[in-house]
């Protein structure tokens, strides 16, 4: 459908339900334990067996032998599946490392066998009896820091090379040239990867799983098992977080399907927590050199960002330069994203891939430049705002209110009263610091479909394969349908996560909220047209839906009456058009942080955080706020704690569980405030909304780092800011 309709004619603009803070409709189910997660779906298939994987103990080489005799003889064991007994299984297009099969080891903790038994305990016990012999490859490369010479690397994306950076930088009276590093990170979502698989007599596969992208898992399973999409069903109604780790098929669903095929019974497999960091994907490490030149008034004349990252051969890494072509003005620009192939586990998307790491560096660099210029860092950013693509000035931003974020944030935070001398404010043993940073995250949209049913009782049902990974999809979809049909949120039933429903955007890249609600909007428009037809071919645009009734030409009819003879269904999808190519769509924020660093121990306590966010229409301020404060917590982790420690000799992440990989929680932050500008982005979607889930993370770590510098006078450019770097 074409959603570029004249302003004011969109029924969703009414804002009766949309845009109102609405508690999550799945909240009571989740908090009371009644929302079934993938591993807990005991009721969906009878006689379930449990599978427990065996993981590789080397990072690179070949399996020479798998001896499973002792495991097969162990109590309760039904089958042992061995990687060496089969070919490499098809891999999903967007990951380069396959999940099972063959004798080649590509990364540590690769799954090499699966023990299937009558109970989880029996499978786990027997897994320890499987003996695997390897021929380890001596020469392997796990250390990005040995590749600082970027001539070795390949291009991750095309360069941005505009004007003459070298000349402008050489001429600039004020310059900065610094290198920043960010470590590998793991998603650390609450629910592990888990699946239950079952085959029927006709060779059809059903997988109850935990995935962000139902349709991508269908595609992955089709490719792995040589099936057609109509032979695969995926069901994923509740997901305990993903952060990108569940975008693609993982070993759990492949192993469960293999176990079920071998035993003829349903098999469930969860990846044990200590295997997740190395078996799945992670956020790659980055080394970022940033150069900025400015005139004495603070106008940026030259900017360069060399971003180096790593991945498995052929894969994607972390493009830390993602924001730099677009965030700040400057006529001369050189942006060079580079990748090095290493033999660590495959690096891939983690919440705000690219910008999350890139802004950790760029927004410290901006703080350092402001200091060199003797400028307020807020004013420095305002001066260098741009309303167009700096590399392509005929391409405007569809809606960019970054300056408003900065000004409102500074006002609300009391920025004028901040400490202006690094290390200059002390309360007893605590050094007090203030810092800020800007945030940029692209606003993607993905085609999305939905089906809506008007039931004879006048209530509605929405069906789409959209997922709710803890973000609030159920609720914003109910709000959308309620708004479009003049119903209350409690009169809309939302069914998600089943591949039998229309294909949606899924949850990723902060495109889920704007895209999936656009699909629901489209289906509701179609339903309204059908209702108009039934009311005697009246003009659908003239219909008014409110309080469970529809009014046409002064005549009011209840929706129950209209559907009295049977359910009315309508299905449609939004395909995002090329007109989006003419504009840049992104989301923005300004972050402000006050913290205290203990002068004796180096411990950091965050006192308050404020985010002012610009992300189009906010569909549900309550769940949007939850997304942003969750991102702030994650950003604090990135700043102070989170780091997958690489064993560069043996090629694995050493701290691969939640005891060794520390993440903060909300209670670690005394006060978090979130403000949304709540504008309308006319180019984004029919609801003029954009996502906030990744924006909430972007820029936070740099705001913390800048406040830390302000408190201590010590500039740390190597994340995380752990005590050893402070003392």
Cβ burial, residue 7 (10 Å; 0-12/13-18/19+): exposed
Q: Is 578 left (phi over 0), alpha (psi -120 to 50) or beta?
A: alpha
Tokens 């394969």 appear where?
Answer: 465
User: Residue 97 or 570: which CB sits closer to ligand MOS?
Assistant: 97
630 lines the binding site for ligand MOS (CB under 6 A): no
Each residue 335-364 as x (binds ligand MOS by CB under 6 A) or -, in order, gives --------------xxx-x-----------
User: Residue 219 or 368: which CB sits closer to ligand MOS?
Assistant: 219
Q: How far is the CB of 240 from ligand MOS (least distance, A)?
A: 14
Tokens of 181: 């590093």
- Measured torsion, CA atoms of residues 354, 360, 366, 368, in degrees rounded to the nearest 10: -150
User: Residue 298 or 317: which CB sits closer to ligand MOS?
Assistant: 317
Judged by CB under 6 A, the stretch of 76-84, 86-94, 243-251, 373-381 that binds ligand MOS is 243-251
Tokens 């305002």 appear where?
Answer: 382
**Contact criterion met (CB below 8 Å) for 269 and 195:** yes
Judged by CB under 6 A, the stretch of 238-246, 285-293, 417-425, 679-687 that binds ligand MOS is 238-246
What gap in Å lies between CA 222 and CA 214, rounded to an integer?
12
DSSP string, 596-614: EEETTT--EEEEEEEEEEE
Q: How far is the CB of 249 from ligand MOS (least distance, A)?
A: 14
Q: Which residue out of 355, 571, 642, 694 is catalytically annotated?
A: 694
What gap in Å lies between CA 449 and CA 465, rounded to an integer?
8
Q: For ligand MOS, which residue of 51, 192, 237, 242 counts as binding (CB under 6 A)? A: 242
> 457 CB contacts (<8 Å, ≥6 apart)?
560
The helix/strand/coil state of 30 is helix
Q: How far is the CB of 185 from ligand MOS (least distance, A)?
A: 11
What gap in Å lies between CA 1 and CA 471, rounded to an integer?
26
Interface positions, 118-147, toward ligand MOS (CB under 6 A): none
Interface positions, 498-537, toward ligand MOS (CB under 6 A): 508-509
Question: How many Cβ atoms from other residues are within 10 Å of residue 500's Cβ?
Answer: 11
User: Residue 508 or 686: which CB sits closer to ligand MOS?
Assistant: 508
444 lines the binding site for ligand MOS (CB under 6 A): no
User: Residue 386 or 510: which CB sits closer to ligand MOS?
Assistant: 510
Q: How far is the CB of 396 from ligand MOS (least distance, A)?
A: 26
Interface positions, 450-469, toward ligand MOS (CB under 6 A): none
What gap in Å lies between CA 183 and CA 643, rounded to an integer?
6
247 lines the binding site for ligand MOS (CB under 6 A): yes
Each residue 191-220 as x (binds ligand MOS by CB under 6 A) or -, in order, gives ---------------------x--------
Q: Which of 173, 178, 594 is nearest to 365 (CA)?
A: 178
Judged by CB under 6 A, the stretch of 240-248, 322-330, 455-463, 561-569 that binds ligand MOS is 240-248
Q: How far is the CB of 246 from ligand MOS (least distance, A)?
A: 8
User: Residue 243 or 327: which CB sits closer to ligand MOS?
Assistant: 243
Supply φ then ψ for residue 202, to 5 degrees: -85, 10
Number of residues that bind ligand MOS (CB under 6 A): 11
**Contact criterion met (CB below 8 Å) for 214 and 499:** yes
Q: b/e for 302-318, b at 16 or more Cβ within 10 A? A: bbbbbbbbbbbeebbbb
List the 426-427 sheet strands across, edge first: 426-427, 430-442, 586-598, 604-614, 672-676
**Contact criterion met (CB below 8 Å) for 186 and 244:** no
User: Residue 11 or 242: which CB sits closer to ligand MOS?
Assistant: 242
Tokens of 309: 């990252």
Q: How far is the CB of 452 from ligand MOS (least distance, A)?
A: 26
Interface positions, 370-409, toward ligand MOS (CB under 6 A): none
User: Residue 183 or 508: which CB sits closer to ligand MOS?
Assistant: 508
Q: How far is the CB of 509 from ligand MOS (least distance, A)?
A: 4
Judged by CB under 6 A, the stretch of 236-244, 263-271, 393-401, 630-638 that binds ligand MOS is 236-244
Q: Tell me the sheet residues that pair with 199.
A: 205
Q: For ligand MOS, which residue of 11, 237, 241, 244 counts as binding (CB under 6 A)? A: 244
Answer yes or no: 694 catalytic: yes
Q: How far is the CB of 349 from ligand MOS (least distance, A)?
A: 4
Q: Which of 448, 494, 470, 452 is nearest to 215 (CA)?
A: 448
Tokens of 470: 């803890």
User: Residue 349 or 406: which CB sits closer to ligand MOS?
Assistant: 349
**Contact criterion met (CB below 8 Å) for 342 and 141:** yes
Q: Which of 239, 145, 242 is nearest to 634 (CA)?
A: 242
User: Residue 112 or 349: which CB sits closer to ligand MOS?
Assistant: 349
**Residues 537, 540, 543, 545, CA torsion sign:** positive
Q: How far is the CB of 544 from ligand MOS (least distance, A)?
A: 38
Tokens of 448: 């999305």
User: Residue 336 or 517: which CB sits closer to ligand MOS?
Assistant: 517
Q: Which of 366, 449, 241 is nearest to 703 (CA)?
A: 366
Q: Tell me the sheet residues that pair with 672.
A: 609
Q: How far is the CB of 327 from ligand MOS (least distance, A)?
A: 19
Q: How far is the CB of 346 from ligand MOS (least distance, A)?
A: 14
**Contact criterion met (CB below 8 Å) for 326 and 354:** no
User: Residue 311 or 710: which CB sits closer to ligand MOS?
Assistant: 311
Judged by CB under 6 A, the stretch of 239-247, 527-535, 609-617, 638-646 that binds ligand MOS is 239-247
The residue sitting closest to ligand MOS, measured at its beta carbon, is 244
Q: Is 423 left (phi over 0), alpha (psi -120 to 50) or beta?
A: left
Q: How far is the CB of 698 from ligand MOS (least distance, A)?
A: 12
User: Residue 53 or 635: which CB sits closer to ligand MOS?
Assistant: 635
**Contact criterion met (CB below 8 Å) for 384 and 300:** yes
What gap in Å lies between CA 488 and CA 563, rounded to an integer?
17
List the 460-464 sheet strands across, edge first: 492-496, 460-464, 448-454, 568-574
The helix/strand/coil state of 433 is strand
Q: How far is the CB of 510 from ligand MOS (least distance, A)?
A: 7
**Residues annotated as catalytic (active site), given as ranges:** 694
Interface residue list for ligand MOS (CB under 6 A): 212, 242-244, 247, 349-351, 353, 508-509
């Amino acid at each position: 459908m074409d959603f570029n309709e004249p302003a004011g004619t969109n029924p969703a603009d009414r804002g009766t339900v949309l845009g109102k803070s609405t508690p999550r409709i799945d909240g009571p189910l989740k908090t009371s334990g009644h929302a079934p997660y993938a591993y807990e779906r005991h009721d969906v298939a009878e006689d379930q067996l449990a599978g427990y994987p065996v993981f590789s103990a080397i990072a690179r080489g070949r399996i020479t032998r798998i001896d499973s005799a002792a495991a097969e003889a162990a109590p309760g064991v039904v089958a042992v599946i061995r990687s060496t007994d089969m070919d490499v299984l098809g891999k999903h297009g967007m990951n380069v490392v396959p999940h099972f099969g063959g004798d080649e080891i590509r990364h540590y903790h690769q799954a090499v066998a699966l023990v299937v038994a009558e109970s989880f305990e029996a499978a786990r016990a027997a897994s320890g009896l499987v003996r695997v012999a390897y021929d380890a490859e001596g020469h392997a490369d796990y250390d990005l820091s040995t590749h600082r010479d970027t001539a070795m690397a390949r291009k991750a994306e095309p360069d941005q090379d505009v004007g003459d950076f070298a000349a402008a930088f050489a001429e600039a009276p004020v310059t900065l040239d610094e290198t920043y590093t960010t470590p590998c990170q793991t998603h650390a979502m609450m629910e592990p990867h888990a699946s239950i698989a079952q085959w029927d007599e006709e060779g059809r596969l059903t997988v109850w799983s935990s995935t962000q992208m139902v349709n991508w898992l269908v595609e992955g399973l089709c490719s792995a098992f040589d099936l057609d999409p109509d032979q695969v069903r995926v069901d994923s109604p509740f997901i305990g977080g993903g952060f990108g780790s569940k975008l693609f098929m993982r070993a759990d669903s492949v192993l469960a399907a293999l176990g079920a095929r071998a035993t003829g019974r349903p098999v469930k497999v969860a990846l044990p927590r200590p295997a997740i960091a190395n078996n799945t994907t992670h956020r790659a490490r980055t080394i970022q050199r940033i150069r900025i030149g400015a005139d004495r008034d603070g106008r940026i004349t030259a900017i360069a960002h060399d971003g180096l990252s790593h991945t498995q051969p052929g894969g994607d890494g972390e493009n830390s330069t993602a924001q730099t072509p677009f965030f700040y003005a400057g006529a001369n620009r050189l942006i060079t994203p580079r990748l090095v192939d290493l033999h660590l586990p495959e690096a891939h998307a983690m919440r705000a891939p690219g910008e999350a790491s890139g802004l950790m560096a760029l927004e410290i660099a901006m703080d350092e430049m402001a200091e060199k210029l003797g400028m307020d860092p807020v004013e420095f950013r305002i001066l260098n705002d741009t309303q167009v693509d700096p590399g392509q000035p005929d391409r405007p931003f569809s809606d960019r209110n970054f300056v408003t974020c900065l000004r409102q944030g500074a006002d609300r935070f009391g920025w004028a009263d901040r400490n202006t001398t690094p290390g200059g404010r002390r309360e007893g043993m605590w050094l007090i610091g203030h810092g800020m940073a800007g945030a940029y995250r692209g606003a993607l949209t993905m085609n999305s479909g939905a089906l809506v049913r008007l039931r004879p009782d006048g209530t509605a049902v929405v069906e789409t394969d959209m997922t709710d990974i803890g973000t609030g999809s159920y609720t914003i979809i109910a709000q959308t349908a309620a708004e479009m049909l003049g119903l209350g949120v409690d009169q809309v039933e939302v069914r998600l996560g089943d591949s039998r429903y229309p294909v949606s955007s899924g949850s990723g890249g902060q495109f889920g909220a704007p895209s999936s609600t656009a699909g629901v909007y489209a289906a509701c428009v179609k339903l309204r047209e059908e209702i108009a037809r039934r009311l005697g071919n009246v003009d659908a645009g003239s219909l008014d839906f409110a309080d469970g009734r529809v009014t046409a030409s002064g005549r009011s009819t209840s929706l129950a009456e209209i559907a009295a003879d049977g359910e009315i269904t309508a299905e449609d999808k939004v395909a995002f058009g090329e007109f989006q190519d003419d504009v840049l769509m992104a989301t923005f924020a300004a972050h402000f942080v006050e913290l205290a660093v203990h002068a004796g121990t180096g411990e950091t306590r965050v006192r308050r955080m404020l985010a002012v966010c610009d992300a189009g229409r906010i569909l549900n301020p309550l769940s949007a706020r939850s997304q942003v404060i969750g991102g702030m917590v994650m950003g604090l982790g990135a700043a102070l704690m989170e780091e997958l420690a690489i064993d560069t000799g043996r090629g694995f992440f050493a701290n691969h569980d939640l005891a060794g990989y520390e993440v903060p929680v909300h209670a670690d932050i005394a006060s978090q405030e979130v403000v949304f500008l709540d504008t309308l982005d006319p180019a984004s979607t029919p609801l003029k909304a954009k996502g906030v889930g990744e924006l909430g993370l972007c820029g936070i770590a740099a705001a913390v780092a800048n406040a830390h510098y302000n408190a201590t006078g010590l500039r740390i450019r190597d994340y995380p800011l752990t005590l050893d770097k402070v003392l």
